[in-house]
A and B are shown apart, each in its own frame.
Chain A
Amino acid sequence: MRSSKYIEDTEDFYQNAPCGFLTCDTNGRIAGINDTLLSLTGRTRESTVAVCSFSELLTTGSRLFAETHIMPLVKMQGFVNEVSFDMRAADGMTFPVLVNIRSVQSDQEGEEYYRLTVIDYTLRKRYERELIEAKRDAESNAEMLRIANTDLQHFAQIASHDLQAPLNTVTGLIQLMEIKGLLKRNAESEEILDLIFRNTRRMKSMISDLLEYQSFRESDSDFERVSLGEVCREALEGLAGEVEATGASFDIGALPAVSGAKIRLVRLFQNLFSNALKYRSEAPPAVLVSSREEGDKIITAVADNGTGFDPSHAEKIFGFMERLQSRDQIEGTGIGLSACRRIAESHGGSIRAESVPGEGSVFFVTLPRA
């Protein structure tokens, strides 16, 4: 049927509209009601029209609200929109309704009447309450998290400080024994001493890594435009000793700027570079840094010619304190790459790795463009 030919049966539309219609006088007395609303409330026209008032269709609480606030408001401004009431059906069941009200003047006597549309919104109301509950939960959870985070930060600071102090004392005391000649020098004691120093060193770096790891929680409010080229240069400066010792070469191409926190990004790349030096093959390490744009992201690739890793471990290497090698082979805390991931994610970015064992690895860092 073409819509222009369609003739609306207005009486039928009124009576069986997909929402309730009601007309009442300014005192609320019902002058007219459609079939939809009658069946919704389980009432008959005879027991309703000219017999009861609109507010009598409501629960007592809703009636209080209607009579003290909504009806006076309609009287004064001529309309209200989206008022939520609870309606009580003849069988005592209640259901939520959304009501709009408009004031009209009747033709005959110029008397004022109110027209109401009434929509049963039981399901929508359930969503609403769920949303409110969810919002409340989310808000209280966020608050609890905030408190827990602050406590944790506090704890980590105190714990690491308290751990570091006795460690420093132990190292110092052993050095003092050595200086004062209290230790017997022979091959065996040299080896034990070496082990002691290596372990204390490892514990120190672990503590400082841990401390740094938990400090990456800062908000992104300190984000600024950061040149990746500069970030890589600073990262390299921090590794000058190792670079020289290993005879490594770095090829850093032209890199764009990203939006981020510089100190954290330097740390990220320093960790990657340091890994490239640490997990090197026989050949002197060669690291290539390049980047490309993808939408509003910058993807930077850090490729090395090191030992690489089994590709099935591409995720595992970013785990917190996860290590593929045992400590005896290569020193490390297993925090470096998980810190990298954490830094990348705190920038709204990501990090992943690919590798061919024996040939090298490539780390892809995605960061937001400046």
Chain B
Amino acid sequence: MPFSSLSEIKARLDAGETTAVEVAQLYLDRIKAHNDQLNAFVHLDAAHVLAQAQASDAYRAKHEPRPLEGLPIAVKDIFCTQNGPTRCCSTILEGFEAPYDAHVITRLKEAGAVLVGKTNMDEFAMGSSTETSAFGVCRNPWDISRIPGGSSGGSASAVAAALAPAALGTDTGGSIRQPASLCGITGLKPTYGRVSRRGIIAFASSLDQAGPMTRNVRDAAMVTAAMAGHDSGDATSVADAPALDWLAACDKRDMTGLRIGKPKEYFVDGMDEGVRAAVEAALQQCEALGAEIVDISLPHTEYAVATYYVIAPSEASANLSRYDGVRFGHRCNEPEDLLDMYTRSRDEGFGAEVKRRILTGAFALSSGYYDAYYLKAQQVRTLIQQDFLQAFEQVDVIATPTSPVTAFAVGEKTDDPLTMYLADIFTIALNLAGLPGMSQPCGMVDGLPVGLQWIAPAWREDLLLGAASAYEASTDWSKQEPQAFAANGGEA
């Protein structure tokens, strides 16, 4: 049971073989047993989890079960929840408890899900390793001396170690896909505008998008189906987005005739050769399943990281201005005057990486530099979007490695921000283009998972789900488990 998928738990709940309370208790026990090693959860209210599970069982006793009835889902600390603290893993939000649920939290509750705790993340989602968290480093279950990726590292670690069957993440430049890849699980970033951002703490508003982190493709579709949909409270949530039949998209497991683009810019010198080999092998597998592999070019890829590191910090510099010590969160002791209160509260409340990005963003937006940085970055962003539009004239989907490397050691890159930024080199471009993307396991290198990334045109998550389901059905990679966390699992 512990390494079960959402779909399997759902089947057992529907068959009456177990209850939501039993399932919740199982995962609570596993969190208790393993979280000290992993630091995947930074907040857990066990009584609240059990209360939700009891309510779900009571609902099931009287009604038709809802789509996620009784299914435990862990929540990244970036989603505001009425229950418990919401900290974005930052000291600046010390003491903050949101008086509201994020829109997607409301939707998951309405779908019957049991929300479990808050998972660790890089502070304000700024990072690729979950090492900048105010609550300490999160660990990768495949090797606890290594990072789980980031920023949704806590969610990835929790799902990979079966401390939760599924989790929510957010993805601004790869923060769902990269940790999913490094932890050997499945992660989906929907099209920008597919899922409401309301109540999700903003990092870079034009890039942020929430999505699921799960043990297989179908589970990702199940959770996204509950999350997606127009929200009149988010002006960037698209009202007339084409609706999808998420689960049906997973059932079409036929790759025959599917044109898969293989962009040369994503198979480059300097990437891990084991990763390259695993992804090449996955593409050959797809070819064997009837797909056509088409060599393509996305010529502006090399500018994606630079473009991202102008736009995302610029937006962040404004988004994080509200943490000023005036109304909520951390305020310094005994401020001398207003300026002292601002500077000391923010100095004490934000970590080094967050400060670096605020400064970078404020600089890029400042008078005299705006044209050279922000405006230029927006222009390049348009070119990157056009790259993809042109590519999708030739191919149906694009496949790439999710990350150029497997999980690296804790502390390995913390002193070198630029190297850390390059961890997202393959995931960033599609955020800039607003496109949907997905990562699924496609191999192991030295005992560490490798991720295969799928990219589709806007609103065509069905193509991602179809391709990924077909590939998944033909391999065992998503069934791999980190043995260190299987031992105490037992059977429910």
- Does chain A bind chain B? no
Interface residues of A (CB under 8 A from B): none
Interface residues of B (CB under 8 A from A): none
